[in-house]
Amino acid sequence: MNTIRDVLIKHQSLFIRSAFLVTQSDSWIDGHIPLYFAELNGIASNTLSVGHCAFNADTHITLSQSQHVLGMEFDFIVLDFRCGFDANHFCRVLGTLVGGGIALIIPPRQHDALASQWLNRIFSDLTHWPMSGKDIEELKSSQNNLSFKQQNEAIRKIIKVATGHRNRPLVLTADRGRGKSSALGIACAHLLSTRSQCSIVVTAPSFRQVSTLFRHALSELPDAQTLHPHQLTYSTNSLRFVPPAEVTPGMDCDLLFVDEAGAIPVPMLKHWARAFSRMVFSTTVHGYEGSGRGFTLKFLPWLASLRETVLHLHLDQPIRWAANDKIEHWLNHHFVLDSEIEPITYHSGTHLRYRVLDKADLIDNPALLRQCIGLLVQAHYQTTPNDVYQLIENSEQNMVIAELNDQVVATCLVNQEGRLDTGKVTNIVSGKSRPKGQLATSILMTNLGCLEAGYWSSQRIMRIAVHPHLQRQGIATELCQYVEANLPLDFVSVSFGADVELLSFWLSLDFFPVRFGLTRDAASGTHSILMVKPCHQRSREVLTSLRDIYSEQLLENMKQLNTPIDIPLLRLLLSNVCTSPQAGAVASARESVLNIFSQGGGSFDFVRPLLQPWLLSTGRVSLCSALLLRAVFCHYDTQSLCFEFSLTGKKQLEKALRQDVMSVI
């Protein structure tokens, strides 16, 4: 029988990767696996064990710690899933296995029936361990000629962005394992060491996604200082990470790198593209780090219209493993990391079929699963392997689809909430628990005092996507209507990063807001908003009453926001605030004071308290200027107003405010 040592040496000589399934008993596993690590001492340069047992590996992590090994490389990995399975961590860890390496996978022992069926189907493609002599004989060389040509070209083009003509951005795309992050890091190191004054800013949804970039930059510049984990300095130059929400025009930045740009909202990308003259946009086009086709479909055409010259480079040569790697193909296929949408021809009025997917269909029909996930990816959702796994395993999640000639053209992912017992409701309200999958229910109970939401049945719309060729045909609306009519519920909810387009869409479907987040999300730069739509009389009476509480909270919280809300969004939010009708005499008195102010009398400090209720009760918010909105609802002081609207001082400000008040009365 071939030993683990023989098998690894064979793989190293052929530069191929393999994953094997270990289905032996617990006693066999606990007895043999530690011996494997000992046997590979001196052959495997770096080994890893994942799970509850260390097994004598060089590095041991629990399943939830996979982010700690991002950017690392291993020759031998044991993934022990006897205590549970997580698709994101699984794919992430296998991405650290280098060419010539092998992985042993110990599958979950007990699991949800459907999830087990799906995993069994996936794992059935793997060779069982121990490996037979026949299997070893059938191993074929990868015929890999490892090439860094594309990576070197990427480094050259990145440097050119910093040293060449302005306003010629570079778009760098790559699949996983193609050396994108290392190219960015090496280019940074070159610029820091050769330029006299150079401030490089890197932004991404999280620092974890650029940690490899920083590691490669530091390896090229061992004398660099890292006084802060998110900043590297070399002489008078610096490389620092800045969260997306903190990237602002005018900041100290000679070159801006936007990594994993596909996971950042397009409006934010556009804002930066206008503000910075030297930029590199990079993104993973397949895999859990990126968000696929949305970046290509939405942002790149706009960028081409903004800049006369846009440089492009796609990296498809693997760096960590051979081309046509079997593990990469296996992961991409089963976890739908490489899903794409098919072109389609649609004529207005064509009949679409709507239905709730049977989860067994997703297992029996992998092509159906790929179509659904492909739509989510192209719609700019950051879709992960765990999203695929949760769709099958989580009984509270369902997918509603629209089909045209057996092709999925729209999807709506929903999550069942509520239906809680008294004990769970009490624990949530008292802050003792925050159960997963109860986002809307928890907010309604704890922030708005609506305990009924815990007992009611509701559906939260998590994601909705329509084929690009069929958008703006009312299909998303029909999907939502199908959810309301065919799933058990008292109300529907949706939570998203607020922007004018999305808020307008949900308002058009008779949803209304009940909570607006105080802080911006660090990755998206948007405030979260929760909206609901009652579907029965009992829920309608209760939820509608919450609009008054929401309105009071929103108006008060406007004064406390650290960063201002964009004016179009602010105007739309305020247009949907509930106000109590004003008595005729009060309204008349207010108008009289406002008229006097607009004609030159009085002071804005005394008029401001009257303006807010008057504008809301008369529906004049939509007529307000940006200056008036900031002054009345955001309570900007004189200095802040003069700075934002380029006014010379209080006298000019007061004059502008009088003119703006005159325009709305």
Collapsing DSSP states into helix, strand and coil, what is residue 631? helix
User: 279 near 310, Cβ under 8 Å?
Assistant: no
User: 394 near 375, Cβ under 8 Å?
Assistant: no
Question: Sheet of 237-241: strands edge to edge?
Answer: 225-228, 231-234, 237-241, 199-203, 255-258, 279-284, 170-174, 311-315
Are residues 309 and 169 part of one domain?
yes
Domain stop point among 258, 280, 315: 315
Give the Cα separation of 108 and 276 in Å (integer): 49
Give the Cα separation of 247 and 155 in Å (integer): 24
What pLDDT is attached to residue 380?
62
Calculated CA dihedral for residues 596, 597, 603, 606, nearest 10 degrees? 80
Sign of the C-alpha dihedral, residues 485, 486, 491, 496? negative
What residue ranges of the chain have pLDDT lower than 70?
Answer: 1, 71, 111, 134, 141-147, 286-294, 297, 346-349, 380-382, 522-524, 562, 580-587
User: 239 near 253, Cβ under 8 Å?
Assistant: no
Are residues 307 and 203 part of one domain?
yes
Give the per-residue SS3 of 360-376.
HHHHHCHHHHHHHHHHH
CATH number at residue 486: 3.40.630.30
Supply the Cα-derived Rg of the chain in whole angstroms: 29
For residue 439 the two structure tokens come to 């986002």
Report the predicted TM-score, pTM, of the whole model to 2 decimal places: 0.79
Are residues 95 and 13 part of one domain?
yes
The answer to whether residue 381 is domain-embedded is no
The answer to whether residue 655 is domain-embedded is yes
What pLDDT is attached to residue 211?
86
Q: Which amino acid, residue 550?
A: Y
Are residues 64 and 39 part of one domain?
yes
E strand map for 419-480:
457-466
Q: Which domain holds residue 446?
A: 413-574
Phi, psi dihedrals of residue 641, rounded to the nearest 5°: -65, -45
User: 336 near 388, Cβ under 8 Å?
Assistant: yes
Give the Cα separation of 407 and 353 in Å (integer): 10
Residues in the chain: 665
Are residues 308 and 435 part of one domain?
no
The answer to whether residue 333 is domain-embedded is no
Collapsing DSSP states into helix, strand and coil, what is residue 506? helix
The answer to whether residue 327 is domain-embedded is no
Span 174-231, pLDDT tens digits = 887 788 988 999 999 999 999 988 999 999 988 888 888 998 999 999 889 888 889 9
Q: Residue 421: CB partners within 8 Å, gap ≥ 6?
A: none
Sign of the C-alpha dihedral, residues 221, 226, 230, 236? negative
CATH number at residue 95: 3.40.50.11040
CATH number at residue 226: 3.40.50.300
Span 380-400, pLDDT tens digits = 666 788 888 999 999 999 999
What pLDDT is attached to residue 552?
86
The answer to whether residue 382 is domain-embedded is no
Give the Cα separation of 182 and 268 in Å (integer): 25
Strand partners, 231: 228, 240
Are residues 631 and 549 part of one domain?
no
Domain stop point among 273, 293, 315: 315
Are residues 307 and 196 part of one domain?
yes
Span 117-176, pLDDT tens digits = 899 999 999 999 987 776 777 777 655 555 688 999 999 999 999 999 999 999 999 887
Domain stop point among 534, 556, 574: 574
Are residues 97 and 54 part of one domain?
yes
Are residues 593 and 565 part of one domain?
no
* Domain count for the chain: 4
Q: What is the DSSP letter of 51?
A: S
The answer to whether residue 519 is domain-embedded is yes
Longest dimension (CA), the chain: 98
The answer to whether residue 402 is domain-embedded is no
Give the Cα separation of 86 and 385 in Å (integer): 9
Are residues 172 and 311 part of one domain?
yes
Average pLDDT of every residue of the chain: 89
Are residues 599 and 500 part of one domain?
no
The answer to whether residue 618 is domain-embedded is yes
- Give CA 59 to chain center in angstroms: 29
Are residues 628 and 482 part of one domain?
no
